[in-house]
Amino acid sequence: MAVEHSTGTPAPAPGDQTRIHNIGYRNYDGPRLGRAYARRSLYSQSLRGSYGLGRSVKSKVLPMLLFVVMCVPAAIIVAVAVATKAGALPLDYTRNAIVMQAVISLYVASQAPQSVSRDLRFKTVPLYFSRPIETADYVRAKFAALASALFILTAAPLLVLYVGALLAKLDFADQTKGFAQGLVSVALLSLLFAGIGLVIASFTPRRGFGIAAVIAVLTITYGAVSTLQAIADAQGSSDAVPWIGLFSPITLVDGVQSAFLGATSAFPGGVGPGHGEGVVYVLVALGLIAASYGLLMRRYKKVGL
Amino acid sequence: MIATESLSKRFPRVTALDRLSVDVGPGVTGLVGANGAGKSTLIKILLGLSPATEGRAEVLGLDVASKGADIRERVGYMPEHDCLPPDVSATEFVVHMARMSGLPPTAARERTADTLRHVGLYEERYRPIGGYSTGMKQRVKLAQALVHDPQLVFLDEPTNGLDPVGRDEMLGLIRRIHTDFGISVLVTSHLLGELERTCDHVVVIDGGKLLRSSSTTDFTQTTTTLAIEVTDTDEHPDGTHAVRDALHARGVSVEDGGGLPGAGHILLLTAQGEETYDLVRDVIADLGLGLVRMEQRRHHIAEVFKSSDEHEQRKEAVGHGG
């Protein structure tokens, strides 16, 4: 690119042939596409960045690896189902994300800091805000990008399962319904995890801290909640089990999908929240997503220039 | 280009800008002030990113309070601090920033290639920024501020951290932004001297107040000051003194060159015209001394800026020297 042709200029005078042409400064009078375009550009750049595209080879390794790790089990399940001519897939669409939660957590922990901590650390944020976009545009673009990246990560194995199920000639209506329920569930999970991951990452310019903090928050809450649930279940107070599940992101998603998306709960005793409790789950999940957005807005109001 | 009217910015504990009224026309304008004088606060307000406590300001005829986004589309900003991610190349980074300014993808690529060439980055633009020298990084920062062809750029301390050669190149580049690219420039610095060569107009602020706003010719070219330095010989063990006496005898008044230690060997005198140069040459030749330097020295903006402070500093310096 940027090869300069001096077409149309008069032939240089004799003896002048090796002169370097300085074509001088050219003004730009083309279109300026404004805020919405800039926001979309930031979104696509961040989404590509979440899989290491447009970045160094080194930064492609982890996200691509995790993507493969997510999809391979689904492919194996499909292969088994096709080979054994089983009447149903051995894994529910809604269950996949719960089983693979460690991989998803690792992905959020690695990519949320990549998305926002770098801009803070290298102080690139002021360059964004000296352009037409505003705080809300930056936050929305980053939030949407990470949520989309997570959705790709969690929906891809479901797609593999679905395509496999159709190839195995399983019941179309049944499979489509399960697939749709799974997609809704992972969409919620993507928003929730993206919000939590970004809020934590936006408070530290250090990428290492960000990674550690996100992993800690996701795994410690899950560990604590599932331990408490197990204790409550063992002591016979199984009424408390669904309520405890409100306090960690992955059990929150589990609760929502077992209440409304026909999933079997991974809670001890296999008893998920009923419809009444399920409403609380949905409200808490949406509340957390909204709170994450609000916290990010507050955070970036302060960062500014 | 820029107009402010009793613009004030107060934070709970400090007043960053205090009823600042200033008009800046097209061209290269220097914004001079010590650290903490309110330069960066002013730029933030002018970009529409920080509301003023009172007063109003316009950039390119647009009100900063209501038209911030429009202003930011037409101006460029080069921050004082580092702002470059080390793991991407200058090309990728500047293309991204061009798109963030609203340029369509193809235009963003073309403008990036052009702009990087104009600021003096060639093959290295494909390498990660992490490996660049300070001077190259400053050029990338400048390129991202110019890539969308703004009408006005704010350059915050662009010569910070550069060696003397890099500093001169950067100042030359800033001059070209106006003369060759037709983009007006507001450049801040706490080094008063370097702006007099580059700017058409200088605004001096201190403690958030306007100290002076006038064109650099007013500041510096009313008189030409000659600085001369000579060697000592056996015959004249203090050559400086001898020259001073000889010039005095010819009716030329001579001053010491500043009170700083080491500057004692420099004599300053006011050149009336060609004949002053001849006179100095003849006097030194008659005394048999060597002429180390004879240079034109414009009045430093510093002298206009804080003459009382300088007096005190001078006394102090003399006290230390003795």
The CA-atom distances, in angstroms, between B10 and each of A266, B37, B38, B41, B52 are: 56, 13, 11, 10, 8
B103:A54 CB<8 A:
no
A259: amino acid identity, one letter: A
**A305 lies in a domain?**
no
Among the four given CATH numbers 3.40.50.300, 3.10.450.50, 1.10.1660.10, 3.30.70.260, the one describing domain B224-298: 3.30.70.260
- What is the extent of the structural domain holding A180? 3-28+43-299
Whether residue B228 contacts residue B243, with contact meaning beta carbons closer than 8 Å, is answered with yes
Mean confidence (pLDDT) of chain B? 84
Give the pLDDT confidence of A191-235 residue by residue, as tens digits: 999 999 999 999 988 889 999 999 999 999 999 999 999 999 888
Q: What is the mean pLDDT of residues B227-232?
A: 82
Measured distance CA(A287)–CA(A283) in Å, rounded: 6
Residue B88: closest CA among chain A residues belongs to which residue? A55
Residue in A2, A130, A134 closest to B77 by CB: A130
Mean pLDDT of A112-117: 92
At residue B72 the predicted structure's pLDDT band, cuts being 50, 70 and 90, is: very high
The Cα of A87 is separated from the nearest Cα of chain B by a number of Å equal to 50
| Distance of residue B174 Cα from the nearest chain A Cα, in angstroms | 14
- DSSP H or E segment with residue A237: none
ipTM for the predicted complex: 0.85
Question: What mean pLDDT comes out for the span A224-251?
Answer: 90
* pLDDT of the residue at B206: 86
Give domain status of residue A35, yes or no: no
Choose between B147 and B215: higher pLDDT.
B147
A27/B182 CB distance under 8 A: yes
CA distances from residue B224 to A126, B42, B298 in whole angstroms, order as listed: 43, 34, 6
Give B59→chain A minimum CA distance, Å: 14
pLDDT-based confidence at residue A17 (cuts at 50, 70, 90) = low
Smallest CA–CA separation between B307 and chain A, in Å? 34
- The pLDDT, as a whole number, for residue A304 is 64
**A32 contacts B102? CB cut-off 8 A:** yes
Nearest by CB to residue B85, choosing from A31, A122, A128, is A122
Number of C-beta neighbours around residue A224 at 10 A: 13
Q: pLDDT tens digit string along A126-161?
A: 999 999 999 999 999 999 999 999 999 999 999 999
Report angle CA B178, B182, B184 to the nearest 5 degrees. Answer: 55
> Which H helix or E strand runs over A13?
none
B104 with A30: Cβ contact below 8 A: yes
Confidence of residue A2 (pLDDT cuts 50, 70, 90): very low
In a domain, A36, yes or no: no
Domain membership flag for residue A47: yes
Map out the domains of chain B as residue ranges: 2-219, 224-298
Q: How confident is the model at residue B290 (pLDDT cuts 50, 70, 90)?
A: confident
Mean pLDDT on B157-165? 89
Quickly state the pLDDT bin for B215 (edges 50, 70, 90): confident
Residue B307 has pLDDT above 50, yes or no: no
A72-109: pLDDT as tens digits? 999 999 998 888 887 788 888 999 999 999 999 999 99
A37-59 average pLDDT score: 92
Model confidence at B61: pLDDT above 80: yes
pLDDT of residue A18: 60
Distance CA A61, CA A66 (A): 9
Choose among A30, A38, A118: nearest Cβ to B85.
A118
CATH topology of domain B2-219: Rossmann fold (3.40.50)
- Token output for B207: 């403690």
Opening angle at CA B48, ends B46 and B53, nearest 5 = 80
With a cut of 80, say whether residue B298 has pLDDT above it: no
Interface of A with B (CB under 8 A): 1-2, 24-28, 30-35, 37-38, 41-42, 45, 54-56, 59, 118-119, 122-124, 126-134, 304-305
Mean pLDDT of chain A, nearest integer? 89
CA B187/CA B76 separation, integer angstroms: 12
pLDDT in tens, A158-198: 999 999 999 888 899 999 999 999 999 999 999 999 999 99
The rounded percent of chain B whose pLDDT value lies above 90 is 47
Q: What pLDDT score was predicted for residue A6?
A: 43
Strand segments, DSSP code E, in chain B are 2-10, 15-24, 28-32, 54-59, 62-63, 75-78, 152-156, 184-189, 201-206, 209-215, 224-230, 254-256, 266-271, 291-297
Torsion over CA: A217, A218, A224, A228 (sign): positive
Q: Flag whether pLDDT at B259 surpasses 80.
A: no
Closest-CA distance of chain A to residue B147, Å:
9
Q: What is the pLDDT of residue A24?
A: 80
Q: Vertex A218, ends A294 and A96: CA angle to 5°?
A: 105
Of the ranges A60-74, B290-304, B308-322, which is most confident?
A60-74
Which of A31, A54, A40, A23 lies closest to B113, judged by CA? A23
3-state secondary structure B117-151: HHCCCCHHHHCEHHHCCHHHHHHHHHHHHHCCCCC
Does residue A37 register a pLDDT over 90?
Answer: yes
What pLDDT band is residue A111 in, cutting at 50, 70 and 90? very high
Residue B130, CA distances (Å) to B124, B127, B167 in order: 11, 8, 21
Nearest to A254 by CA among A234, A269, A233, A273: A273
Considering only B153-157, B241-245, B310-314, which range has the smallest mean pLDDT? B310-314
Contacts of A205 in chain B (CB under 8 A): none
Point out the residue among B40, B44, B83 whose CB comes nearest to the CB of A123: B83
* Residue B314: per-residue pLDDT: 46
Distance (Å, rounded) from C-alpha B173 to C-alpha B178? 9
**Residue B218, number of CB atoms within 10 A of its CB:** 12
Distances (CA, A) of A237 to A243, A265, A275, B153: 11, 17, 19, 67
Query: Given pLDDT bands bounded at 50, 70 and 90, which one contains residue B321?
Result: very low
User: Is the alpha carbon torsion for B261, B266, B272, B273 positive or negative?
Assistant: negative
- Cβ-Cβ pairs closer than 8 A, A with B, add up to 115
**pLDDT score, position B219:** 56
Cβ pair A25:B118 closer than 8 A = yes
How many domains does the structure of chain A reveal? Answer: 1
Span B87-131, pLDDT tens digits: 899 999 999 999 999 999 999 999 999 999 999 999 999 999 999
Which residue of chain B has the CA closest to A29? Answer: B149
A81 to chain B nearest CA, in Å? 44
* Nearest CB partner across the interface for A128, out of B86, B92, B100: B100
Q: Is the pLDDT of residue B319 over 50?
A: no
CB contact under 8 Å between A59 and B87, yes or no, is yes
Q: If you measure CA to CA, which chain B residue comes closest to A131?
A: B72
For residue A151, give the amino acid letter: F
